[in-house]
């Protein structure tokens, strides 16, 4: 190691300089740390004070704007009252003012423009009548009086009725709106409807685009009710840009931005021009999120998500931190943020920081200079002498005399020789290291080559002209082609022809951007699709030029197959393989869209399986699943591939028949479905026959709306069930009336229970041998104050489905037991039979209720007969048996009503602790004409006697039926032969009639 010259006195490597700098730096760091801590504390205090100032500015800001908003709301509500009073309450016709002629336009509309140009009106011709003719004239006169004042406050003023009538000033809307336009679809109408605004207040719409005015506006809408009925709205639009002008102007220190509850910015100093100039479609809501800085947009989203009323925070915009206070304007659901640059708030502090740092640096320089001079005089002269000696030795002057060894920081002469030896060793070590690095580089290149060769991904290397020069074995294995099939071919030739449509885009990306990444299909020798994740990247030389391209293909076929299976799970029923509800609704929406464009119609079938619950409960859920699977397979085989067959849940199915516009064709398909389903189905060792009740609706004739169409099909299905099941029914308007009647009955039923509009009638059970009354069955009757008697057939199913049957049934139990007690006190003690509903039977409080009734009424428990149907007992049989035993512990008697019409097991029947079987009237009514009914009735009586059960025959009306029952040892009968159901006051007459018959 040698030196061409000695270091200068003030060289950068001088120890005096290094030590001086080190000590100065330590002092500087210590001083700066203390200053930073002090300034940081001061900075926090200043920021807090600025946030507080922004909060007060924001509050003043909001109060000023709220006064403007409240003033406009007051004007709008006053205008609404004037319109209501002048046009609907008073109903006056301004005969003194000439009537402006109406224009009946070819597009199907009626239009009228006021001669003074202040307003215009529009109405579809389909709803035009004399009332609307008067409304055209009266509204024109009223608008002449009020519109000049209102248009000073608002952009416009209008009235819109539910029948699409509009009177507006200025007149543009009424003159330009399309004839088929539906105002009920517009955002400025729907916000004030009774469903969305039950409080009937004035409401503001979100900011939306009006394609007539070509402006972004928000509307102040007031609903108009006449005699409690919603008939339309009055409204005024305010242009967004003008409304924003009501905010105080931004200044050099403070600025503001405004955003709505959706997180969309309505005003911002840097975006206002862009916001107000962009155009949209009618009713399109303003979207500005993409134009806002990412951090500000994130702050806005968090404020909306957490619904902050008042928030102080900061954000970064244009690379600078801003302090902000955000407050909410409740009436419009807007938020206003007042902000200022943090740098302006801290400018004085920043100047103080600069002065501090300047002083500390000057202090450090002075310390360094003083230390340098002291060190040079005390230490460095000896160091320079030693350096000269070492330098001479390095030049080959090995006899150079070195200074004596002293115990200082430099060392001794021997150290110089040691340094020389170390230098030589370093040179040798450096040479060896370079040799080793070269060997390692060769090994690394070899490893890289093998890594590509044995990679688990297919690798292709092409030259700068995209001609393949190398393919690794994995790609050859994946594709099945030989290596020679690839060499010299274009790089993109490895992609399957099935992806031909994407090749031009991929090629353009590679040539323009020099890289591409995405999922595609690899070409294979057997044309089997091989999904790969393909990545094409350039290989650059040291001068950044591209010498070749490398493509890596990772097999993702398994991932694609997993995605396909996930879609299968998302859109198809796992049990049957049919489409599920989500997929069906998606297909229905597509069909509705096609139908709206015209020249397309379809039929919607909605059905479930009759008596499926019975089969599921008796044979088990596995059998029920097997039944659903077989039904699904039959439907898939019999219907067309273009039809959509779906299982919506449970045993509910839906079918979408595309291209069906004729009810006769739809009926043929319905009969085909019923014939297919009605074929016997083998479930294990059991063979069952089921049927389907099908509701049919035709689109778009029945309804242009998706939900309404499903409702229509559902109503039609329930009508098919009501007609006896195993049939189909087309939707018609009468079904809506039936649904409304059901709703009316449900509402009136609740009132009837409160007002005690019910009365019990009692049908006697007579011993036909002795003509003695042995009991009564309590039957409920509903006497409505305006509609008279409502049949139990109508209200009992509704009470059952709504749960009101529990409350109603409790009333029946009390009343019937009191009646029985009154008969007993008259010396006419008899049994009283009361029907229990399924809900009552399953009620956990039933036993306690019966016990309370028996105790409080004083009725003999043995005279209380509770009647249950077979279907109530055949659900969960074990629970039913336990419940029956619980009831028997009270001492009451149990009857099975309508025996023979349900689906019961005789093995279960003998386990039920029942006392009486009641033969259903459907078997008795055709005796003696129907021999089958006679055989069934005789069998039921014989079976009951074998099981030691009493028998009561229902529906007995003729002497022939009496004689048949006597011959078969059934003597207790109930029916019109002896008496219809009687009011309590008529029961005494029954005993007199029977007494006369005895004599």
- For residue 121, is pLDDT > 90? yes
CATH of 577-731, one of 3.40.50.620, 3.40.50.300, 3.40.190.80, 3.30.70.270: 3.30.70.270
308, 326 Cβ separation under 8 angstroms = yes
Average pLDDT of span 213-227:
89
**C-alpha span between 492 and 504 (Å, rounded):** 10
Say which residue the tokens 């009086």 belong to.
Answer: 145
Q: What are phi and psi of 531, to 5 degrees?
A: -75, 130
The lowest-confidence range among 257-266, 353-362, 508-517, 840-849 is 353-362
- In this structure, how many other beta carbons lie within 10 angstroms of the beta carbon of residue 879? 11
What pLDDT, on a 0 to 100 scale, did the predictor assign at position 901?
A: 60
**C-alpha span between 572 and 605 (Å, rounded):** 18
Three-state SS sequence of 14-70: CHHHHHHHHHHHHHHHHHHHHHHHHHHHHHHHHHHHHHHHHHHHHHHHHHHHHHHHH
What pLDDT, on a 0 to 100 scale, did the predictor assign at position 917?
A: 87
Q: How would residue 58 be classed by pLDDT, with cut points 50, 70 and 90?
A: confident
CATH architecture label of 743-998: Alpha-Beta Barrel (3.20)
Q: How would residue 6 be classed by pLDDT, with cut points 50, 70 and 90?
A: very low
Element (H, E) at 242: helix 240-244
What pLDDT, on a 0 to 100 scale, did the predictor assign at position 348?
A: 59
Say which residue the tokens 């005015």 belong to.
Answer: 213
Most confident of 33-47, 247-261, 296-310, 610-624: 296-310
Please give the full DSSP string across 170-229, using - where no structure is assigned. SSHHHHHS-TT--GGGSHHHHTTSTTT-TT---EEPPPEEETTTTEEEEEEEEEEEETTE
523, 533 Cβ separation under 8 angstroms = no
Residues linked to residue 530 through DSSP beta bridges, in sequence order:
522
- For residue 497, is pLDDT > 80? no
Average pLDDT over the chain, rounded to an integer: 80
**C-alpha span between 373 and 9 (Å, rounded):** 11
**What would the two tokens of residue 320 be?**
């600078």
pLDDT in tens, 712-764: 888 888 878 877 778 888 887 766 666 666 777 778 788 878 888 888 999 99
Q: Which residues of 9-18 are buried (b: 16+ CB within 10 A; e: fewer)?
A: eeeeebebbe
**What would the two tokens of residue 43 be?**
């900075």
Q: Find the helix packing angle between 413-453 and 381-394, rounded to 10°.
A: 60
Q: How would residue 355 be classed by pLDDT, with cut points 50, 70 and 90?
A: low
Helix, strand, coil abundance in the chain, percent, nearest 5: 50, 20, 30
**C-alpha span between 194 and 226 (Å, rounded):** 13
Burial class (CB in 10 A: 0-12, 13-18, 19+), 998: exposed
What ranges do the domains of the chain cover?
347-406, 459-562, 577-731, 743-998
CATH of 459-562, one of 3.30.450.20, 3.40.47.10, 1.10.260.40, 3.40.190.10: 3.30.450.20
DSSP E strands in 591-719: the ranges are: 602-609, 644-649, 652-658, 681-683, 686-688, 692-699
- For residue 108, is pLDDT > 50? yes
- For residue 804, is pLDDT > 60? yes
Most confident of 111-125, 517-531, 892-906: 111-125
What pLDDT, on a 0 to 100 scale, did the predictor assign at position 875?
A: 59
240, 220 Cβ separation under 8 angstroms = no
Bond prior to 700 in cis (omega within 30° of 0): yes
**What would the two tokens of residue 932 be?**
């089958």
Average pLDDT of span 979-988:
88
* Angle ∠(121,123,126) on CA atoms, nearest 5: 165
Query: Would you state the torsion angle of the CA atoms of residues 271, 272, 274, 275, taken in this order, to the nearest 10 degrees?
Result: 110
Average pLDDT of span 461-487:
82
- For residue 838, is pLDDT > 80? no
Residues linked to residue 328 through DSSP beta bridges, in sequence order:
335
The lowest-confidence range among 13-27, 662-676, 847-861 is 13-27
All residues at 6 or more sequence positions from 80 whose CB lies less than 8 Å from its CB, including other chains: 202, 222, 224, 234
Parallel, antiparallel or unpaired: strands 972-974 and 950-954: parallel
712, 731 Cβ separation under 8 angstroms = yes
Query: Would you state the torsion angle of the CA atoms of residues 304, 309, 310, 311, taken in this order, to the nearest 10 degrees?
Result: -20
Average pLDDT of span 79-86:
89
- In this structure, how many other beta carbons lie within 10 angstroms of the beta carbon of residue 229? 9
- For residue 776, is pLDDT > 90? yes
- For residue 11, is pLDDT > 60? no
874, 618 Cβ separation under 8 angstroms = yes
**C-alpha span between 377 and 16 (Å, rounded):** 10
Q: How would residue 653 be classed by pLDDT, with cut points 50, 70 and 90?
A: very high
Query: Would you state the torsion angle of the CA atoms of residues 317, 318, 322, 327, taken in this order, to the nearest 10 degrees?
Result: -30
Q: How would residue 417 be classed by pLDDT, with cut points 50, 70 and 90?
A: very low
**Strand, helix or coil at 753?**
helix
**Strand, helix or coil at 276?**
helix
First vs last C-alpha separation in the chain: 153
Parallel, antiparallel or unpaired: strands 468-471 and 831-835: unpaired
**C-alpha span between 693 and 703 (Å, rounded):** 22
All residues at 6 or more sequence positions from 31 whose CB lies less than 8 Å from its CB, including other chains: 360, 363
Q: Which residues of 486-525 are buried (b: 16+ CB within 10 A; e: fewer)?
A: beebebbbbbbeebeeebeebeeebeeeeebeeebbbbee
In 3D, which of 608, 605, 600 has the Cα closest to residue 697?
Answer: 605
The lowest-confidence range among 30-44, 683-697, 787-801 is 30-44
- In this structure, how many other beta carbons lie within 10 angstroms of the beta carbon of residue 240? 22
Most confident of 439-453, 698-712, 850-864: 850-864
In order of 165, 478, 708, 713, 719, the CA distances from 730 in angstroms are 34, 57, 15, 8, 9
The lowest-confidence range among 192-206, 368-382, 811-825 is 368-382
Average pLDDT of span 451-473:
80
**C-alpha span between 971 and 769 (Å, rounded):** 7
Bond prior to 928 in cis (omega within 30° of 0): yes
- In this structure, how many other beta carbons lie within 10 angstroms of the beta carbon of residue 246? 13
What pLDDT, on a 0 to 100 scale, did the predictor assign at position 2?
A: 43
Instruction: Specify the higher pLDDT residue, 398 or 792.
Output: 792
700, 602 Cβ separation under 8 angstroms = no
Q: How would residue 78 be classed by pLDDT, with cut points 50, 70 and 90?
A: very high
What pLDDT, on a 0 to 100 scale, did the predictor assign at position 124?
A: 93
């Amino acid at each position: 190691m040698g030196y061409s010259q000695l270091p200068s006195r003030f060289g950068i490597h001088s120890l005096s300089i290094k030590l001086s700098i080190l000590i100065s730096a330590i002092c500087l760091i210590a001083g700066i740390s203390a200053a930073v801590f002090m300034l940081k504390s001061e900075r926090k205090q200043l920021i807090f004070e600025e946030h507080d100032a922004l909060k007060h500015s924001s509050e003043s800001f909001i109060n000023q704007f709220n006064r403007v908003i409240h003033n406009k709301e007051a004007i709008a509500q006053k205008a609404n009252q004037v319109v209501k009073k002048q046009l609907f309450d008073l109903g006056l016709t301004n005969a003194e003012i000439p009537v402006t002629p109406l224009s009946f336009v070819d597009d199907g509309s009626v239009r009228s423009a006021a001669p003074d140009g202040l307003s215009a009106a529009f109405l579809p011709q389909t709803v035009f009548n004399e009332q609307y003719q008067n409304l055209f004239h009266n509204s024109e006169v009223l608008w002449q009086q009020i519109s000049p004042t209102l248009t000073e406050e608002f952009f416009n003023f209008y009235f819109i009725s539910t029948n699409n009538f509009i009177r507006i000033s200025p007149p543009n809307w009424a003159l330009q709106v399309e004839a088929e336009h539906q105002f009920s679809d517009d955002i400025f109408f729907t916000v004030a409807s009774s469903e969305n605004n039950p409080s009937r207040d004035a409401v503001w719409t979100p900011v939306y685009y009006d394609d007539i005015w070509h402006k972004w506006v928000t509307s102040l809408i007031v609903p108009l009710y006449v005699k409690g009925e919603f008939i339309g709205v009055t409204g005024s639009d305010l242009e967004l840009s003008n409304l924003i002008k009501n905010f105080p102007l931004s200044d050099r220190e403070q600025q503001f931005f405004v955003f709505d509850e959706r997180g969309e910015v309505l005003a911002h100093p840097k975006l206002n021009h862009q916001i107000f100039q962009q155009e949209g479609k009618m009713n399109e809501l303003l979207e500005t999120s993409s134009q806002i800085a990412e951090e500000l947009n994130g702050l806005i989203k968090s404020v909306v998500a957490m619904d902050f009323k008042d928030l102080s925070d900061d954000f970064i915009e244009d690379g600078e931190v801003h302090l902000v206070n955000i407050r909410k304007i409740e009436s419009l659901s807007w938020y206003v943020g007042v902000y200022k640059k943090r740098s302006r708030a801290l400018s004085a502090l920043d100047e103080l920081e600069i002065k501090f740092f300047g002083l500390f640096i000057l202090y450090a320089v002075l310390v360094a200079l003083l230390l340098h001079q002291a060190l040079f005089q005390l230490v460095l002269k000896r160091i320079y002498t030693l350096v000269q000696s070492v330098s001479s030795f390095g030049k080959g002057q090995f006899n150079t005399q070195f200074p004596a060894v002293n115990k200082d920081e430099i060392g001794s002469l021997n150290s110089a020789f040691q340094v020389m030896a170390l230098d030589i060793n370093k040179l040798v070590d450096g040479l060896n290291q370079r040799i080793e690095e070269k060997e390692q580089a060769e090994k690394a290149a070899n490893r890289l080559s093998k890594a590509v060769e044995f990679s688990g991904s297919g690798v292709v290397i092409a030259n700068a002209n995209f001609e393949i020069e190398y393919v690794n074995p994995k790609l050859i294995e994946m594709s099945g082609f030989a290596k020679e099939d690839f060499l010299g071919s274009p790089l993109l030739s490895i992609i399957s022809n099935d992806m031909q449509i994407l090749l031009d885009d991929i090629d353009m990306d590679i040539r323009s951007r020099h890289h591409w990444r995405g999922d595609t299909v690899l070409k294979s020798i057997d044309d089997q699709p091989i999904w790969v994740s393909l990545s094409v990247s350039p290989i650059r030389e040291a001068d950044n030029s591209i010498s070749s391209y490398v493509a890596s293909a990772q097999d993702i076929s398994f991932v694609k197959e997993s995605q396909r299976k996930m879609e299968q799970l998302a859109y198809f029923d796992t049990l049957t393989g049919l489409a599920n509800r989500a997929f069906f609704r998606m297909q229905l929406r597509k069909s509705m869209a096609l139908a709206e464009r015209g020249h397309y119609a379809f039929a919607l079938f909605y059905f479930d399986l009759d008596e499926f619950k019975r089969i599921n409960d008796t044979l088990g859920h596995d059998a029920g699943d097997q039944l659903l699977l077989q039904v699904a397979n039959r439907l898939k085989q019999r219907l067309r591939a273009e039809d959509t067959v779906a299982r919506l849940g449970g045993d509910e199915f839906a079918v979408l028949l595309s291209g069906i516009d004729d009810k006769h064709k739809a009926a043929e398909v319905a009969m085909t479905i019923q014939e297919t389903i009605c074929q016997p189905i083998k479930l294990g060792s059991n063979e069952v026959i089921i049927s389907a009740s099908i509701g049919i609706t035709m689109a778009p004739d029945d309804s242009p709306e998706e939900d309404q169409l499903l409702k229509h099909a559902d109503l039609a299905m329930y009508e098919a069930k009501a007609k006896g099941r195993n049939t189909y029914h087309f939707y018609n308007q009468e079904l809506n009336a039936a649904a409304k009647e059901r709703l009316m009955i449900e509402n009136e039923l609740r009132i009837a229970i409160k007002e005690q509009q019910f009365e019990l009638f009692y049908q006697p059970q007579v011993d036909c041998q002795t003509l003695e009354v042995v009991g009564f069955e309590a039957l409920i009757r509903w006497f409505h104050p305006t509609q008279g008697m409502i049949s139990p057939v109508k209200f009992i199913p509704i009470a059952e489905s709504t749960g009101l049957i529990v409350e109603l049934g409790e009333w029946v139990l009390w009343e019937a037991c009191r009646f029985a007690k009154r008969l007993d006190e008259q010396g006419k003690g008899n049994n009283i039979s009361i029907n229990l509903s399924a809900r009552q039977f399953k009620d956990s409080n039933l036993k306690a209720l019966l016990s309370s009734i028996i105790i409080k009424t004083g009725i003999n428990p043995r005279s209380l007969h509770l009647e249950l149907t077979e279907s109530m007992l055949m659900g969960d049989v074990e629970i039913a048996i336990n419940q029956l035993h619980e009831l028997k512990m009270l001492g009451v008697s149990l009857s099975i009503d309508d025996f023979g019409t349900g689906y019961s097991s005789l093995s279960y029947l003998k386990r039920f602790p029942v006392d009486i079987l009641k033969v259903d009237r459907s078997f008795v009514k055709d005796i003696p004409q129907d021999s089958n009914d006679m055989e069934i009735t005789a069998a039921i009586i014989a079976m009951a006697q074998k099981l030691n059960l009493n028998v009561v025959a229902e529906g007995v009306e003729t002497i022939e039926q009496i004689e048949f029952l006597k011959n078969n040892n059934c003597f207790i009968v109930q029916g019109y032969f002896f008496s219809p159901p009687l009011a309590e006051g008529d029961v005494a007459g029954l005993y007199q009639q029977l007494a006369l018959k005895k004599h």
